Structure 1
C-alpha cells in the first residue's frame, strides 16, 4: 500500500489543532504514546508501533483494539527509537510526504535524532517535516518555497559543515549567494514579507525552522 502523506504521531506534546489538518486520505501511524493520543481523540490509527513502555496495560489494550494494525516490540532488545521505527514504516509506504508530530519534547537527544531523521527522507526524495504549535521544521538541499503558516520567524541553520550559495527572496533580510557555517547565527530570526518566500542553495543541507514563542 502506498500513501500520498503519512502522519506520524509520537509521544511528545501534540497541539490539538493539528488534528484538524488530518486529511481523509492520510495514513496515520501512532508511535507508542502517540497512538494513545489518537485513540483518546477518537481517531483510529492505521498502524500503531513501538514498545509501548510509556502506556499502562489498560491503555495498551485500548490501542490494540482501536488500531487497524499493531506492531509491538521488546522494549529492551531493540536498536531503534519508537519514532524511527515509525519513520522506517512510513518510508516503506512510498509516501510523497511524511509529517512528524509530537517528536519535539524534553529529551534533547530524541529531538535532535528526530530532526536528523529528516535527512533520510530527503535522500529518498520524500518531503519531510516536523510540526507542532511552536515550530514547523523542514530542510532543503536545493530550492524550496516557504509558506506563511502563522509562525513569526524563519530561521536557517546548516545541517552540513557549511551551506553555500544561499539566496533568499521574499524575506525581510535577504541573502544573495551567502554561506552559512555550523556555529553561526546569521540565519536566525528572519521573517517573510508576504505569503511565500523562496530559498535557494548551491551546496549542503539547510535546516529551515518556522517558529513562534
Structure 2
C-alpha cells in the first residue's frame, strides 16, 4: 500500500487503540513516520531507501540513531526485531511492513516465525496479520477498521485440529495443509469468532477488499 492509504482518520483510530512506549523508524519507515506524524525514539537501518538521514536527525534530534552498512546479511527489519528482543520489548505493531516488493513482504511475514518471542502484529489500512501457534484457543473480534474477511494461512507445514465457530464457514478439527486455501476469506457472523488449533502454526489475517 502507498503512504496515501494511511489517512488521518485511519491513523487516529489506530492510535486510539494502542499506547506505544517506543516508536522505531526503520530506514524507509522514516517516510511513514513523518507522513503519520509519529516521532521516533529510535532511527535504525542502512538508510539506502532515503535521500538523506541528516534531514531526519535534524527533524527528530532526540531520537537515537543506529546505522548499519548497506552490505549486510540481515534486512533492516530483522535488525530492528533483534533490537527489540535485546531491549525486552514484547508487543510490536508494524506499520508499512508489506510495502510494494513481494520479496520484502514475504521476508517480513516469515520473520514472525523467527521472532516468535515477540507478539508481532502487522498493520496497514487493508490488513492485520498476526501469528497463531497451537495448541491454543483465540477469540477474534471484528476490528474497528472495517475489515470484512478473516483468513487462516498455514505458515510452517500442516495445521491440524483447526476448529472455527462464529463464522460463515465453520470448521471442526480440520487439517489445513501448507499451500491449501481452505482457510481463506471467512467472515465473522457472531459477536466474535473462536479459533482453536491443536497443532501447527498459521497466520491470522483480517482484511478487506481494496476500496
TM range (shorter): 0.7 to 0.9
Q: Which residue of 2 aligns with 1:172?
A: 168
Q: Which residue of 2 aligns with 1:75?
A: 70
Q: Which residue of 1 aligns with 2:183?
A: 187
- RMSD between superposed Cα atoms in Å: 2.0
Structure 2 residue ranges without an equivalent (≥5): none
Deviations 1:98-121 (A, max 9, x none): 111101122111101111111133
Q: Which residue of 1 aligns with 2:56?
A: 63
CA contact (8 A) 2:6 2:36 kept: no
CA separation in 2, counterparts of 1:19 and 1:170? 29
Q: Please, which of 112, 130, 135 is the counterpart of residue 138 of structure 1?
A: 130
Residues paired across the two proteins, number: 198
CA separation in 2, counterparts of 1:100 and 1:12? 15
The 5-angstrom pairing of residues 28-107 of structure 1 reads 28-57=23-52, 60-65=53-58, 66=60, 67-76=62-71, 78-107=72-101
Q: Which residue of 1 aligns with 2:22?
A: 27
Show structure 1 runs of 4+ deviating over 4 A.
11-14
CA contact (8 A) 2:84 2:90 kept: no
Question: TM-score by structure 2 length?
Answer: 0.85
How far apart are 1:181 and its partner, in Å? 0.4
Q: 1:12/1:46 Cα in 2 relative to 1: closer, same or farther (>3 Å)?
A: farther
Structure 1 residue ranges without an equivalent (≥5): 1-10
